[in-house]
Structure 1
Amino acid sequence: MRSIVASDVVAASKFNRFHLLVFLWCFYAIGFDGYDIAMYGVGLPWMMEEWNISSVQAGAVGSYSLFGMLVGALILASVADKLGRKNVIVLCMFLFSVFTLGAGLAPNITWFTVMRFTASIGMGGLMPNAISLMTEYSPKKNRAFIVAIMYVGYALGGIMASLIGMYIVPHTDWRMLYYIGIIPLITLPLFMKQFPESITYYLARKQVGKVVGILNKVHPTGNYKETDDYKLKEAEEGAKGSPVKKLFTDKRAFSTVSIWIAVFCTLMMAYGLNTWLPKMMQDTGFSITSSLSFNLVLCVGQILGSVVGGYLAEKIGHRKILVSLFFLGAITFVALSMTSNVIALYFLIAIGGACTVGAMNLGNPYITEYYPRAIRATGIGYAQASGRIGSILAPTLIAMLMATGMNPNVLFATFAVPSLIAALGYILIQEKYGSFDKLVEEDNEGVETKEEITIVP
């Protein structure tokens, strides 16, 4: 009887149709997360005019909806390790679609806020589960790059929102941005049919047949059978206990807090820029359409940061790239406060996108892999939840600064502070206590580990 470590099979596999299927669905889901984040800021100038609301009120609405993401990350990420990550993603997509459409149909700001809050619960739970599944099903050799490319979907979602704001909303209505949110609901049946559940989830429930089916798709020549030993007892033991408590056991407590601080600062910058960049540029004298073009450039920068950073992370290490990006971001934001040249502004804002959302996209798989497989959705979910606190505070804090009459150019310099703190957070992570997957080798009998991977319970 062969002894099979299912996660090692995936780690040693070569990218094929199965991996591509998982990638495309995660790309699609993450794309709507990016669209959701950007569409509020894109439609905000028209919304403020229609409902006659102030900058502080608009910032508060943005924060209320982001609080929904915090709730989703805390609740829907932690239960996913028990109920199944695919199942939770289905629920998240349903919540987002139905209530985003409801936000578009809202007759006033109060109903809009309620709809946005509920839709955001879905978005808050979707990202950590998509990240953990994509990380689980990516070959180790190309994992950083694959997950980084997946996040291009996030930036493309933001680009789509910007283009709709530039070319469709002026001829229709800002609500058009929200009507499009119904698309995930339409595609949900196909997603449920094609998308796999976590192997860890199946092993913990002794559903060997489903594990065998997945492994034979991941590694077609492996000829895996239900009679093989899949170490079900170890998987069952790893699933026991509180996933949240395990974030602080086995000397992970200090690193967990460091991760939370870093993600808090990262999402504070990301959501602050996505929410207020068009309005900030409008206040410096640009038209609404021109202001949205800066949001488009920000998204392009996010793509470049994700792709180039993911490639470099495979060469010289995840943490080195993350720390470098945040230091570069601090310099960029200070430079933004010191220039009014249009070309320089476009260039620096693109760099800012790479050093905020681009860095966030690289940080998520790094954080996910830091934790043992059985609690990875919880690990990234609670990290995202800490970040959501920063994202909640950012729109209101920036609105308050704008209400004081602060020059928008000077406001950019304030982003340098969280950028430096985020860099420090990643520096302080104790990698020696992490559960990073190790590459494995194949042989004629199946898959043997070059170095045994320990699953820390």
Structure 2
Amino acid sequence: EMTQSVEPKVLDVSPIIDGAKFQKFHWLTIFWCAYIIIFDGYDLAVLGVILPAIMTEWNLSGAQAGLLGSYTLIGMMVGALSLSALSDKIGKKKVITVCVLVFSLFTFLCAFATTPTQFGWFRFIGGVGLGGVMPVVTSLTSEYSPKRRRSLMVGLMFSGYSVGGMLAAVLGIFVIPVLDWQAMFYIALFPVLLLPFMLKQLPESAAYMVQTQQWDNMGAVLEKVEPGYRHEANTVYSNPSVVKDNSKARIVIGDLFLDGRMLSTLMLWAMCFMSLYVVYGMTSWLPRLMVQAGYPLGSSLSFLFTVHFGTVLGALSCSWLMDRYSGRNVLVAYLFVAAAAISALGFASNSVVLYGLLMVTGATTIGSQIGLYAFIVRFYPMTMSSTGMGWALGVGRLGAIIGPFAVGLLFDLQLTLQQNFFSFAVPAVLAAIFMSMVSNRKTVS
């Protein structure tokens, strides 16, 4: 009974996490979160890579092929809405485990689909896992980032997305001619194989451990975050974000429209819709459009690689410029450049020019999309930034779902290459116009 008489010591975990220096712990956390995001990027890009092959094999029309791209994104939308909320109830690690198992196994099963319908179902269910895991790893990375390195850590993690896209394109160039398109889906088993190591090294969410009063586990993680720290048996932890969440009034969607934000919020939604329409319409159809224009499949895939390579440069340059100049104007400029580059793609006769334009296209379309995320988070007051982000992305996802299908319908019309690219340039111009109507002032908290 004697041990119980010791007074518990209450300690707030945030200052320790916020003030930490970069440790092995931080690198491991980024590594595993980025690893998951790489497969996310791979999974979305892989459809564009195999589209020319499956359209021939299953004799699909453009509309049918486009729907296969849309199914994954519908699944992602379902996953993002349903599974990410679950992480507050059962912890982030469990949700990550379930999601990785689901998206790995069902993406792997795509290799054994014999009909477009089966393939579509596997893509949809796999998409649920993909969509569920993305917000969870993003918030886990953000939660354990030292304060002054937060955007860098999240940025590093998101670059895994482009790495996945490049990986899909490179493997496609070498694997499809030798082993057929099915082999592209075998790779999806990798995340499952490494799951035990991942679970050993990934920390559980601090907010969740405090909520469920796992004091010893919390202490063990803090000792890794800050090697000088020692957990004592009688320490009880607190975390301000947990308390605030229980007591604060719920943020309702209507709040996004208050304080003169009505027009800006609607414009951000419209811009997200157009921007994601371009991103997903382009990435899923680029190789097929290039094959139709007479380029061999190998070079069509190297075009996709170039777009994803440009993305990395675009995301970095866009974030850098946004920290220095008006975020809105940087995004507007990027989107106008995107429209110009995409329009010019249809007329490029020289391969150097073509690769250059594709790199600029990747940098300005997907790069500005990543910049837009940063803009939205800063645009709304702290208490509603995640709600603002959720809604903008939710509306944007509709653009992502409609994109591949709409491009498929256009594909069936047998348009010229110039007309096809022009159909991407129009929404890019619209996105720029919508963005220019967003208010530039920082809204007050």
Q: Same fold (TM over 0.5)?
A: yes
Seen in structure 2, the aligned counterparts of structure 1 residues 47 and 202 have a Cα distance that, compared at 3 Å, is: same
Mapped partners of 2:257, 2:238: distance in 1: 22
**1:71 aligns to what?**
78
**1:25 aligns to what?**
32
Seen in structure 2, the aligned counterparts of structure 1 residues 189 and 347 have a Cα distance that, compared at 3 Å, is: same
**1:451 aligns to what?**
none
Mapped partners of 1:292, 1:62: distance in 2: 17
Mapped partners of 1:126, 1:295: distance in 2: 25
Mapped partners of 2:254, 2:214: distance in 1: 26
The residue identity in structure 2 corresponding to 1:191 is M
| Structure whose CA Rg is larger | 2
Q: Which runs of 5+ in 2 are unaligned?
A: 1-7
Seen in structure 2, the aligned counterparts of structure 1 residues 131 and 90 have a Cα distance that, compared at 3 Å, is: same
Seen in structure 2, the aligned counterparts of structure 1 residues 112 and 402 have a Cα distance that, compared at 3 Å, is: same
Mapped partners of 1:376, 1:199: distance in 2: 20
- Counterpart contact for 1:12–1:139, Cα < 8 Å: yes
Match of 1:56 among 51, 63, 84: 63
Seen in structure 2, the aligned counterparts of structure 1 residues 247 and 17 have a Cα distance that, compared at 3 Å, is: farther
Q: Name the SS of the counterpart of 2:252 in structure 1.
A: helix
**2:358 aligns to what?**
349
Seen in structure 2, the aligned counterparts of structure 1 residues 232 and 179 have a Cα distance that, compared at 3 Å, is: closer
**2:292 aligns to what?**
283
Match of 1:392 among 401, 411, 431: 401
Mapped partners of 1:61, 1:209: distance in 2: 47
The residue identity in structure 2 corresponding to 1:404 is L
The residue identity in structure 1 corresponding to 2:298 is T
Q: Is 1:220 the counterpart of 2:230 in the alignment?
A: no
The residue identity in structure 1 corresponding to 2:175 is I
Deviates more, 1:242-251 or 1:18-27: 242-251
* Pairwise CA distance, 1:329: 1.7
**2:415 aligns to what?**
406
Structure with greater contact order relative to length (CA < 8 Å, sep ≥ 6)? 1
- Counterpart contact for 1:42–1:161, Cα < 8 Å: yes
Percent of residue pairs bearing the same amino acid type: 36
The equivalences for 1:171-190 within 5 A come to: 171-190=178-197
The residue identity in structure 2 corresponding to 1:349 is L
**2:369 aligns to what?**
360
**2:341 aligns to what?**
332
**2:304 aligns to what?**
295
Mapped partners of 2:372, 2:19: distance in 1: 23
- Counterpart contact for 2:215–2:236, Cα < 8 Å: no
Match of 1:40 among 42, 47, 54: 47
Deviates more, 1:63-72 or 1:108-117: 63-72
Mapped partners of 1:229, 1:131: distance in 2: 27
**1:266 aligns to what?**
275
* Pairwise CA distance, 1:208: 4.1
- Counterpart contact for 1:319–1:427, Cα < 8 Å: no
The residue identity in structure 2 corresponding to 1:415 is F
Mapped partners of 1:347, 1:120: distance in 2: 32
Deviates more, 1:377-386 or 1:132-141: 377-386
Match of 1:202 among 200, 209, 226: 209
Match of 2:438 among 428, 440, 451: 428
Deviates more, 1:220-229 or 1:124-133: 220-229
**1:192 aligns to what?**
199
The residue identity in structure 2 corresponding to 1:220 is P
Seen in structure 2, the aligned counterparts of structure 1 residues 37 and 108 have a Cα distance that, compared at 3 Å, is: same
**2:160 aligns to what?**
153
Mapped partners of 1:2, 1:319: distance in 2: 47
C-alpha distance after superposition, 1:358-405 (max 9, x if no partner): 223333355456678888776655543332211110011111122222
* Pairwise CA distance, 1:267: 1.9
Deviates more, 1:193-202 or 1:75-84: 75-84
**1:167 aligns to what?**
174
Seen in structure 2, the aligned counterparts of structure 1 residues 25 and 381 have a Cα distance that, compared at 3 Å, is: farther
* Pairwise CA distance, 1:351: 0.9
C-alpha distance after superposition, 1:255-296 (max 9, x if no partner): 655543333222211111110000111122211111111111
Deviates more, 1:310-319 or 1:174-183: 310-319
| TM-score normalised by L of structure 1 | 0.84
* Pairwise CA distance, 1:77: 2.4
The residue identity in structure 2 corresponding to 1:158 is G
The residue identity in structure 2 corresponding to 1:40 is L
Q: Name the SS of the counterpart of 1:53 in structure 2.
A: coil
**1:130 aligns to what?**
137
- Counterpart contact for 2:73–2:401, Cα < 8 Å: yes
* Pairwise CA distance, 1:188: 1.5
Mapped partners of 2:335, 2:88: distance in 1: 31
- Counterpart contact for 2:142–2:150, Cα < 8 Å: yes
C-alpha distance after superposition, 1:16-43 (max 9, x if no partner): 2111111101110110011001111101
**1:444 aligns to what?**
none
Seen in structure 2, the aligned counterparts of structure 1 residues 227 and 331 have a Cα distance that, compared at 3 Å, is: farther
Deviates more, 1:215-224 or 1:391-400: 215-224
- Counterpart contact for 1:271–1:394, Cα < 8 Å: yes
Match of 1:107 among 114, 117, 134: 114
The residue identity in structure 2 corresponding to 1:73 is A
Q: Is 1:12 the counterpart of 2:22 in the alignment?
A: no
Deviates more, 1:143-152 or 1:340-349: 143-152
Mapped partners of 1:382, 1:36: distance in 2: 24
Seen in structure 2, the aligned counterparts of structure 1 residues 221 and 234 have a Cα distance that, compared at 3 Å, is: same
Seen in structure 2, the aligned counterparts of structure 1 residues 225 and 314 have a Cα distance that, compared at 3 Å, is: farther
Seen in structure 2, the aligned counterparts of structure 1 residues 193 and 244 have a Cα distance that, compared at 3 Å, is: farther
- Counterpart contact for 2:61–2:412, Cα < 8 Å: no
* Pairwise CA distance, 1:81: 3.8
C-alpha distance after superposition, 1:168-208 (max 9, x if no partner): 11111100111111111111122222112222333344444
Mapped partners of 2:365, 2:250: distance in 1: 29
Mapped partners of 2:186, 2:138: distance in 1: 26
Mapped partners of 1:233, 1:143: distance in 2: 18
Deviates more, 1:225-234 or 1:16-25: 225-234
- Counterpart contact for 2:379–2:442, Cα < 8 Å: no
Seen in structure 2, the aligned counterparts of structure 1 residues 329 and 234 have a Cα distance that, compared at 3 Å, is: closer
The residue identity in structure 2 corresponding to 1:355 is T
Q: Name the SS of the counterpart of 1:15 in structure 2.
A: coil
The alignment of Structure 1 onto Structure 2 pairs a total of residues equal to: 435
